[in-house]
A and B are shown apart, each in its own frame.
Chain A
């Protein structure tokens, strides 16, 4: 009898035992969670952003940031703006079209060798010979050492973004290591991670998406405030932050309330990243700017933000540059949501409505294809919910739309090859140097999938060339103002909105993270400034 009871109950007793054992281990989340209090863990959804050297990191913001812990630049930024890094001072000499940098003395590479002007000259030469996709040196003629701690960098032509795009973004690499490297793309040996930055690279695991750095005690700006910096891959940033497995994560803006309640600090970035509607302005009827304006009037951007993003975002400026940018022109043409104006423009172009209320011309229906895909923003892929809203808006304005949702690279490939009508895309950099206007408008960048690549307006092209060559900030500002006006009038692409960008960190770890004004380097909108761990 006793044996029968035991037999019947045995599975349940075993189950209860396993459950209690799991609960015993599980209820101690901090038991084996991390190494100690002298480390910071940053969570990221993608994990792998390439090995952190200049030629191996992926050409996106998170890849650059991972490299920036190891390699310093001549200039950097902190909370308040530009600060000296490897250079202590700099000046521009218009008569010789050159920048002269005075370099810091006593800086040592991670392998103990001394840093000098030879390394800077070598870096310029090497990057000219082996282009680094993150920084263009097209405007640079060359560099020469004026002494062990002074360098002159000569320009081919005046180049206004030099300090932001080269001085503040070009990682300086050690000559004694890279001089014998003929194929930098394949150089991932341990020496390729020797820099002058505040952290030494220790490990990177692609499969797991983890990075390990340790503090460089001889860092010239002082010893970092933590011993270890770790990146972990997490698909659940909120849970990782709340369970103490990560100390800083990018979160969805609607999670801000929960995190604040739990004592976390929530950071909101400025409007530096925009979602935009790419237009194939090479094919009719989209090659007519009047038609593009009709489209703009048919799109209710506030409704997209409300319906697809719970109201978390703000409408974008049609002139591309962010309203938070110091060169933003508030008087650019605006296209309010007015379907009546869409109708008026389309009718003036000869379109008539059919029995179903859709426009047609010369017995042909007006039908556009709208490509959508998941887009990576701030390192996190965002599922597209905008396409459906835009489709409905355009259809209610009488324009038939076929919505096509593709995997990102497939969609990118079609945009790149001009095999599309409309496509939803996005990019950042709207708070950085105004050269972003050239990158996102000029037809020079044929392979880009988020640049308008628009070459039909010679005035616009001339203005773009002029603004990057204008070294006087006030004159340049006027040129940038004009560019925004002309661009918004031609509408080769339609800026839709700036999604709210939010990060959160645990203040108990003692580090104050912040978004850098204008973004890091070329305008990266991530709150992972190395100065947070130094000062």
Chain B
């Protein structure tokens, strides 16, 4: 009985993974047009029929879903039509930039939002609470493309504090310290844009959860015992509000590839979002399939990971039957 209960989620996970793998294989092929049309169709030098069929023959490498699975099993991700490089190389070139941007934005927005939410909820009814809640609600309503453009205009165009595009200054020979500063300067605007986009949600969710938790009897007991306020806030109250923020963090991270697409586009940041966008425009099927597969499997893995994480964060879940 116990084994069946343990096996159930594993089987469900495997089935979901297989379905996602199939979808990542088949959906990109349904896009109208192909690589030859995308790459050569609008060229100033049109192709003759013969050249066109020759190119189609060259780029036709579909071996069916079976072949696709076989290749995946041998860690063979395919070869990009447009980039003339193994898909894995392209993927791992772009991944660190996405992790740097999205990972730090999510982490910072979660920590800031959580701490701010806890502190503001603790001061419920104060002018600080009203001001911060008002400000965050307003910020929540501003789309990130708008924030991004405002930051670019102010900090790049007007004051020229930070570069407008890219992830680093290309082809500059510099030491480790200078490179870190350069990376930081390029990261500043896209990172701030994303933090401003994620922070209000994290803050509001934490604050609302905290307000609910603070009404609980055990908080009154903790106060009556004379425990230090910070201990009550973070050990007794905030811990019970944490799982909502962790869920949000996980889901944000799961949508890592598409999550920063807008910001990556307006600041020409070379992450996975940009890679996927360019691949779709070029109908570069092997790249689209690989990125979509990675993205969907990541969502699955993170959702499953969250299930496990809840057990550690909230003992009630661990002991629930």
Contacts and interface: CB of A to CB of B under 8 A. Distances in A.
Contacts of B42: 60, 375-376, 408, 412, 425, 427, 448-450
A207 interface: yes
Interface string B19-42: 000000000000111101111111
A203 B157 CA distance: 29
A236 B164 contact: yes
Interface string A438-460: 01000011111111000000000
Interface string B97-122: 10000000000000000000000000
A522 B58 CA distance: 26
A227 to B, nearest CB: 11
B76 interface: no
A56 B278 CA distance: 16
Interface residues of B, number: 69
Interface residues of A, number: 79
A371 to B, nearest CB: 12
Nearest to A26: B161
A242 interface: yes
Contacts of B314: none
Interface stretch (B7-15, B180-188, B199-207, B242-250): B180-188
A336 interface: no
Interface stretch (B134-142, B208-216, B266-274): B266-274
A518 interface: no
Contact of A212 (B32, B171, B281): B171
B97 A207 contact: yes
B304 interface: no
A233 B166 contact: yes
Interface string B41-59: 1111111110110110010
B166 A444 contact: no
A35 to B, nearest CB: 5
Given A212-B170, A228-B171, A235-B265, A22 B47 contact: no
Interface stretch (B83-91, B217-225, B253-261, B291-299): B83-91
A60 B188 CA distance: 34
A413 B41 CA distance: 8
Contacts of B155: 26
Contact of A134 (B45, B97, B152, B270): B45
A136 interface: yes
Nearest to B85: A206
A27 B162 CA distance: 8
Given A59-B45, A235-B265, A447-B41, A33 B165 contact: no
11 contacts: A22-B161, A25-B184, A26-B161, A136-B45, A136-B48, A185-B58, A212-B170, A239-B164, A409-B32, A413-B33, A444-B49
Given A205-B270, A207-B94, A425-B42, 18 more contacts: A25-B184, A29-B161, A32-B178, A32-B181, A33-B163, A34-B172, A138-B48, A206-B93, A212-B170, A228-B171, A408-B38, A410-B31, A410-B32, A414-B32, A429-B44, A436-B44, A445-B48, A446-B49
